Amino acid sequence: MFTTLATAVVRRPGRVIAGWLLAIAALSAATFAVYGLDGPRGGSTQADFLPDRYESAQAARIEARVFPAPAGSSAVLVVRRTDRAPLTAADNARIDRLPRELRVAGVSAVTAGPLAPDGRVRLADARFPGDPDAEATIQAVERLRQATDAALAGTGLVAGWTGEAAGAADAFLLDLIVNGGMMLVILLLLLVIFRSPAIALLNLFLVLLVAQAATALLALGGKVFGYALDASTTGLLPVVLLGIGTDYAVFLLFRYRERLRTGDDRRAAMVHAVGRIGGAITVSALVVAVAFGALVLSRLASFRVLGPALAVAVLLMVAAALTLFPAVYSLLGRRAYWPAKLLAPPTISAPATSAAPAVERAGAAGLPDRAGRLVARRPGRVVLATVTALVLLGLGALLHRPSYDVDVLPPGSESARALATLRSGFPAGTLTPTVVYLTGAGVDAAAAQRFADRLAEVPVVAAPAGVEVERDVARVRLLLAEPPYSQRAIDGVAAQLRPAARAAAPPGTRAYVGGETATFADIRSVLDRDLRLVFPVAAGLIGLLLLLMLRGLLAALGLLAAVALGFAATLGTSVLAFQVVGGQPGLNFQLPLVVFLFVTAIGTDYNILMIARLREELRAGRSPRQAAREAVRRAGPAVAAAGVILAGSFGVLVASPVLAQVGLAVAVGILIATFGLSWLLVPALAALAGRATFWPARPRPVRTPAAERPATAPTAGTMVR
């Protein structure tokens, strides 16, 4: 099937390329026509994605109905004296004049705020009409900062802007650097691996084109089917496609180069390459899509969108890898690898007394060959050593604690410094108050105040921050004594505030605890259930796909066991790096899911490619140990190249305060999947199990016509390398 597809593609490559370009242009134009330059908007808060039965989601609906928030975003100005002494009457009078002086383009209003109890810090608030990460808002924040510095120059006062809009402005440049760094790392690694600037640039360009098509397709789907693409989806989508698309391109280009080196013309070489790896990367894409798609079982609406969205994007990328990429590279032929020279490797003769099929005895230099020889000679020791190392690393996962601190600001930025100053004078939860709604007939200001006074006695509450009553609904704002996203704050809201609010509600009324902290308390409950459901279902579906593709029960079970060990080792390494060594309170609450998606799903690609090559070598007449050695030697470089590129691109994320844990975890996990699993454990297990690996199927030697014989197929007495 894949040979037929490749033959059709290389026969009319221009039409294939034109078809893709027209489709991408049409999707992009349609998205622009529907959404404009800013693109689709997602849910405004995490509560938007919770099921209706959760209390924080019910509180959010009350907020939207009775106390609708103004559109746009906000920032908070934190003012103190340069000598850190209490603010004087003159200082406060100067701050009161700031709203009239800070009228800059893009800012709706500036309002003077409260004074800290110790009198050393004063706040002000600014409103912006757009979202915090919109370009207009980022520019308005910069103008506001310049105007603030000018207004307070020489007054003995120093100020800084923090909050959502200011934090987004500070993170904007860092995000640009990180994203640019990812692409630069991919370019450099492709250049080092293939020694061809054309391949490095062209591969990145093609992957970004397909990513644009996927983003546009999903955005239009959201308009038609009514789902929202939140920040996690739009943020992960290009990263996933950049990694997966590069993987597929590397697999194709390695096999294509292998055939060009044997003397095939560009069309025949591409047909052979697609015919040999098409099945493996298609099944790999299906495995990844199934793993992502299993998120449809989540109770979080954001995950129910994220999973299928990534699955569709991955399937679109594999379609490009089987059509667009072959069309482009078959047109270029050997020129794609310029200035590298595609020289045919030397022909090595095996001794005539060899009882096994001819095997290379020399010239197989390099790490892949050494790893292949180690696996072939000592498979039992390799299995024991690898499993022991993975289990030891996996023990760290027992110490895993989730962290919900999503409000991470760039270290050293103005917003981070201003937040530290704010928390020196105000309760930790000032910027993110917890809100309790009291509903019922007869709720008035007096009842609401009594209710608020009782809630102020709860240990996790530092102070009330105002009471409002509207249409038989009271809104009570509470400032928490703990940082709002900390584990202690979440535990306090769930175990202290919610029971206290129910107990304090007058007869005939009902209390709903909302806000970001309460929302994460509910998300924690949802994720606990999701992880127990999604992981087993995804593992079962992946195992079924592997069984259908490999037609071998032991092979499918072995790969599942290998990726489970890799997942545990990756999570354990992350715990050791961030909790034990780094002293952080926990790992990002989404990290286990992200590790599962990237390491388990994408890392399975490498195992599939390795096991597919091993079966190919068995069918070429090799013994199990010889097949394991050849599989590592032949497929190992492609797997290593793809793994190092993906790990390197994610490693750049360590520079981001928000994504540092994700970057390190995925980078380490991909390296474990590449070298620990694909290079060592999987081929060593196959060498031990022999042809029983594929039971009940039995790969039998197949005679292939010389003209179609792959470069690794044994001949009567020689081996083309």
Q: Residue 476 — very low, low, confident or very high, per pLDDT cuts 50/70/90?
A: very high
Assess whether 310 and 438 both reside in one domain: no
Assess whether 631 and 689 both reside in one domain: yes
Residue 513 inside a domain? The answer is yes
Number of C-beta neighbours around residue 705 at 10 A: 6
Residue 181 inside a domain? The answer is no
Residue ranges of E strands in 295-344: none
Assess whether 377 and 455 both reside in one domain: no
pLDDT in tens, 136-168: 999 999 999 999 999 999 899 999 999 989 998
pLDDT in tens, 381-407: 999 999 999 999 999 999 988 888 766
CATH number of the domain bearing residue 668: 1.20.1640.10
- In the predicted model, is pLDDT for residue 694 greater than 70? yes
> In the listed set 125, 149, 170, which residue is the last one of a domain according to the structure?
170
Provide the domain count of the chain: 4
Assess whether 562 and 654 both reside in one domain: yes
pTM check: above 0.85: no
Residue 540 inside a domain? The answer is no
- In the predicted model, is pLDDT for residue 43 greater than 60? no
Termini Cα distance of the chain: 27
Q: In 3-state terms, what secondary structure has residue 236?
A: helix
Q: What is the residue-wise DSSP string for 334-357?
A: GGGGTTS--PPPPEEEPPTT-SSS
Which residue range(s) make up the domain with 505?
414-521
Q: Residue 660 — very low, low, confident or very high, per pLDDT cuts 50/70/90?
A: confident
Assess whether 485 and 582 both reside in one domain: no
- H helices of 551-623, in order, are 553-574, 591-595, 603-619
Residue 191 inside a domain? The answer is no
Assess whether 84 and 123 both reside in one domain: yes
C-alpha 69: how far from chain center: 31
Assess whether 554 and 697 both reside in one domain: yes
Q: Are 436 and 511 in contact, with CB atoms under 8 Å apart?
A: yes
Assess whether 162 and 215 both reside in one domain: no
- In the predicted model, is pLDDT for residue 125 greater than 80? yes
How far apart (Å, rounded) are the C-alpha atoms in residues 633 and 316? Answer: 30
Assess whether 513 and 562 both reside in one domain: no
Assess whether 603 and 696 both reside in one domain: yes
pLDDT in tens, 617-655: 888 888 889 889 988 988 888 888 888 888 888 888 888
Residue 77 inside a domain? The answer is yes
C-alpha 364: how far from chain center: 37
Assess whether 440 and 578 both reside in one domain: no
C-alpha 542: how far from chain center: 20
Residue 709 inside a domain? The answer is no
Residue 44 inside a domain? The answer is no
> In the listed set 484, 500, 521, which residue is the last one of a domain according to the structure?
521
* Of 359 and 497, more confident: 497
Residue 283 inside a domain? The answer is yes
Assess whether 457 and 383 both reside in one domain: no
Residue 363 has a pLDDT of 37
CATH number of the domain bearing residue 503: 3.30.70.100
